[in-house]
A and B are shown apart, each in its own frame.
Chain A
């Protein structure tokens, strides 16, 4: 098992717990991102894709750069 950057291309939803905060950042495979206060809210938003997923607003979400996956890969 290893970090797999191809997951984003395969239609993967990703949720990161923002360091030092209680907030969650959700990334949709379409490139849209959001920041939410809890897991119910973040999954409601992600799984509603494409409803409410405006990728034009990506730049306004802190840290929502290229959807390269870095943390959820397993150790070899």
Chain B
């Protein structure tokens, strides 16, 4: 049973990671080679020479203008994967072509389509506009996870774990104690989980960044667009301060916590995270604080999920876990992912020689 769906857009990198040099990352078990062309667009092709499988990201392979030259025997490929030269002969075999991946660069992310390229629709790439909006200041990073993608989905859809795993950072007693409301929009492919704490302790993550102390209103509204993109719309306000009827909300602080969850392999995951805020945008000390705090929180999750992966690897077949009310959103996400897995195309067969 696959652990992630195909025929989907996944975040492969931040745009800032890819320049005019060879860059590789494994996404959904496929090693992909990226570079930014001289025209400025990102290209993505298979990171394996069709001749003898040499990784094209590995020296002495090299980027020459907008062509990659294999460091083993000199097979040369254009940005679209077409082979333009082979050593010692003029005839280029028809099969000499790298798999080319549809790419969209948007909202600071480089998205890549994993699956049947004929089904790739750039208009369906989910949006995280805050990450490049002039109205927000953003800090971001990526931490590798030695755990399957689904464990990160479980983690982020149930924020009650903040109370226990992230105490002293973002966790307070009210998070685990406050009931949630969950919605599933099957047509739009979105899971919503909402937890509105109207009288809660202010955790250090928010007290030091906003200046609010004591009791606060803290609303958490999750919007998960399976498989990859997750946003936590976090609203922090003094007690009793509500949004206006017209939708404006000048008395509150807003933080958009964005995660892109991308399977690397069946049991490892790229955990992209970003924190965008609409306050203290020019204050570098707030940026530094939130970056350090969120990275610490992410690393707490990484340590926990890495341990879970080991538990799963060691458990007997047929082990039954237990779900309670806090898992309502996580279970909704799992069911939506299962449908996407069922609907997606099959993984490519073993390598051709």
Interface residues, chain A, with chain B CB atoms under 8 Å away = 1-2, 7, 10-19, 22, 24, 38-40, 42-43, 46-47, 69, 71-76
Q: Beyond A2-B247, A43-B335, is A74–B183 a contact (Cβ under 8 Å)? A: no
Assess the B221–A74 pair: CB atoms within 8 A: yes
Residues of A within 8 A of B186 (CB): 11-13
- Give the interface segment out of B12-20, B87-95, B191-199: B191-199
Residues of B within 8 A of A18 (CB): 179
Interface presence of B243 (CB below 8 A): yes
Interface presence of B254 (CB below 8 A): yes
- 24 A-B contacts, Cβ less than 8 Å apart? A1-B221, A1-B233, A7-B183, A10-B187, A11-B185, A11-B186, A12-B184, A12-B185, A14-B184, A15-B332, A24-B325, A24-B328, A38-B323, A38-B324, A39-B323, A40-B323, A72-B183, A72-B221, A73-B194, A75-B233, A75-B234, A75-B243, A75-B254, A76-B243
Assess the B196–A71 pair: CB atoms within 8 A: yes
Q: Which residue of A lies closest to B244 (CB)?
A: A76
Given contacts A69-B183, A72-B221, 13 further A-B contacts (CB under 8 A): A10-B187, A12-B183, A14-B182, A14-B183, A15-B182, A24-B328, A39-B325, A42-B328, A47-B335, A73-B194, A74-B219, A75-B252, A76-B247
Assess the B223–A39 pair: CB atoms within 8 A: no
The docked-state distance in angstroms from the alpha carbon of A67 to that of B264 is: 40
Residues of A within 8 A of B179 (CB): 16-19
The docked-state distance in angstroms from the alpha carbon of A71 to that of B196 is: 8
Residues of A within 8 A of B192 (CB): 72
Assess the A39–B193 pair: CB atoms within 8 A: no
The docked-state distance in angstroms from the alpha carbon of A40 to that of B326 is: 11
The docked-state distance in angstroms from the alpha carbon of A17 to that of B254 is: 25
Shortest beta-carbon distance, A47 to chain B, in Å? 7
The docked-state distance in angstroms from the alpha carbon of A1 to that of B220 is: 12
From A2, A39, A75, give the contact of B328 (CB < 8 A): A39
Shortest beta-carbon distance, A41 to chain B, in Å? 10
Shortest beta-carbon distance, A25 to chain B, in Å? 10
Q: Beyond A38-B325, A39-B331, A40-B331, is A74–B184 a contact (Cβ under 8 Å)? A: no
Assess the B331–A72 pair: CB atoms within 8 A: no
The docked-state distance in angstroms from the alpha carbon of A47 to that of B334 is: 13
How many A-B residue contacts, CB cutoff 8 Å?
92
Q: Which residue of B lies closest to A15 (CB)?
A: B182
Assess the B221–A10 pair: CB atoms within 8 A: no
From B181, B184, B234, give the contact of A16 (CB < 8 A): B181
Interface presence of B21 (CB below 8 A): no
Assess the A17–B328 pair: CB atoms within 8 A: yes
Shortest beta-carbon distance, A26 to chain B, in Å? 9
From B184, B185, B187, B219, give the contact of A75 (CB < 8 A): B219
The docked-state distance in angstroms from the alpha carbon of A27 to that of B299 is: 37
Assess the A76–B325 pair: CB atoms within 8 A: no
Residues of B within 8 A of A74 (CB): 194, 219, 221, 223, 233, 235
Interface presence of B248 (CB below 8 A): yes
The docked-state distance in angstroms from the alpha carbon of A70 to that of B298 is: 31
Q: Which residue of B lies closest to A39 (CB)?
A: B328
From A1, A15, A42, A75, give the contact of B181 (CB < 8 A): A15
- Fill in one digit per residue for B61-78: 1 if any A CB lies within 8 Å of its CB, else 0: 000000000000000000
Interface presence of B188 (CB below 8 A): yes
